[in-house]
Amino acid sequence: MLIFVLIFATAGITTFALAFGDEKAVKVGVNQRTEFNKLYDTYDQLNKNYYKDIDKEKLINGAINGMLDSLDDPYSDYMTKAEASKFHESISSSFQGIGAEIQEKDGTIVVVSPIKGSPAEKVGIKPNDKILAVDGKNIRGMSANEAVLLIRGKKGTKVTLTIQRAGSHDTTQMTITRDEIPLNTVYADMLKDGIAKIQITSFSENTYNELLTALNDMDSKGMKSLIIDLRQNPGGLLDQAIKISNLFIPEGKKILQVEDKNGKREVVTAEDGKKIKVPVAVIIDKGSASASEILAAAVSESAGIPLVGEKSFGKGTVQTASDFKDGSNMKFTTAKWLTPNANWIHQKGIEPNYKVNMPKYAELPLINPDSKYKVSSLSNEVKAAEEMLKVLKYNPGKVDGYFDEDTKRAVINFQKDAKLKANGILQGNTTIQLMNKIREKIIKNDTQVNKAIELLKK
């Protein structure tokens, strides 16, 4: 009997303990053993001789946290009662925050992906962005759970993140207004020529049912072929990934394998039931992780469905989650999962059959709307704005990071078209609208979707 949970490629996000069979996930129990004598002695000496009163609960929490930290595994973690409450929050229909999945990596908090339609996505936060500070507080060395407690908050309140884009030494501050983050996970659109595109943004309790509803809707609109978009999908619940994989994989074919520390493998195979009959292509990127990688690998290796896009994140381990009686929680890695062909993609990712990069302007850095740029300003954010203006056909002159008269004219022309105050200053709504226009252009010129369409038309 194997009891396990597959979590997001983040710490501190929704997770469930799952069991194959009739057994239930167990609670954590502690048996006294001689190897703990050193720990007990340390506790007793501190409690008796430390120069001031100690917080006993904090001391115990620190000891447990230290054990898990010593594993050097970003997916094994201890959560206090407050952290565990946040941990379980996302199993509800919504939560309040900025909407970004994060993980701790080498002492730094890194974005796995923003949630579709969230405040984080709207301001331009991207996978692999590093969060260095929250409201000016340095968070290096924090666990993802600790960072989540700082970043989340009530709808309408603001939080300022110091962001460093992957591959850049520059940082920028982004002030984000928290909002209600609905956990709708499936979004469907009918494209031209009967090609449906369904985006799965994560795997939560209702994702399979949401997908069935979307498929029925697309069928009613004349679906002839299908694109499954797993980009920036950080993962989620294992049972949902298995159910969805089953829609595409012939009965008896492998979906995944789970291997414990002794090398014993459990194979999960596709069952009979509803199957998708139309041609399918799947899109992945560097934000596709965990359960989304299970789906991508399964349909690729067991159903021959082509993968389009970029190499995926690479999260190939399995976790168990257990609760303590006081409401705190511990999760730790118990096994690794393998693809149908027994490939372990951990820290490697899945290579698509058709590698397609997004346009270069899709990787442009963030511009802080709170910053004010005008003639004579010089910065990398000005350079990013100039590149955006150039892509949108507002000739900013030389793209060099220096805000000159050509840049001012380009900003004024953009402001006029956007029906904003035409003062030639880059700030506030002008910055937000500029980034929104780039986002719209990225969606309109989605090279990865276009490649998937090309394959489905053959």
Query: 241: domain CATH number?
Result: 3.90.226.10
72 falls within a domain: no
Question: Is 301 tagged catalytic?
Answer: yes
88 falls within a domain: no
63 falls within a domain: no
Predicted TM-score of the model (pTM) = 0.77
Residues 229 and 313 in one domain: yes
pLDDT of residue 205: 86
Closest to 173 in 3D by CA, of 135, 215, 218: 135
SS3 176: strand
CA dist., res. 114 & res. 98, Å (int): 8
457 falls within a domain: no
In the block, residue with structure tokens 């220096």: 402
2 falls within a domain: no
Residues 215 and 271 in one domain: yes
| Domain end (from 130, 158, 182) | 182
Q: Which DSSP helix (H) or strand (E) runs through 19?
A: strand 18-19
Residues 127 and 195 in one domain: no
- Domains contained in the chain, number: 3
pLDDT of residue 318: 87
Residues 162 and 197 in one domain: no
Residues 218 and 288 in one domain: yes
27 falls within a domain: no
Residues 406 and 439 in one domain: yes
17 falls within a domain: no
Give me the CATH number covering residue 149: 2.30.42.10
| Domain end (from 328, 359, 390) | 359
Residues 407 and 280 in one domain: no
pLDDT of residue 48: 93
Residues 225 and 168 in one domain: no
Instruction: For 321-360, give the DSSP string.
Output: EEE-TTS-EEEEEEEEEE-TT----TTT----SEE-PPPG
237 falls within a domain: yes
Residues 129 and 219 in one domain: no
pLDDT of residue 7: 40
Give me the CATH number covering residue 383: 1.10.101.10
Residues 205 and 307 in one domain: yes
Q: How far is CA 285 from CA 50, 234, 312, 394, in A?
A: 52, 11, 5, 30
Domain of 215 in residue numbering reads as 186-318+343-359
CB 372 within 8 A of CB 427: yes
Q: Which of 315, 383, 408, 437 is catalytic?
A: 315
Question: Is 315 tagged catalytic?
Answer: yes
| Domain end (from 151, 182, 213) | 182
Q: Which of 290, 312, 328, 377 is catalytic?
A: 290
pLDDT of residue 11: 37
Residues 98 and 135 in one domain: yes
Residues 164 and 178 in one domain: yes
Q: Which of 101, 301, 381, 386 is catalytic?
A: 301
Q: Which positions of the chain have pLDDT values less than 50?
A: 1-30, 90-93
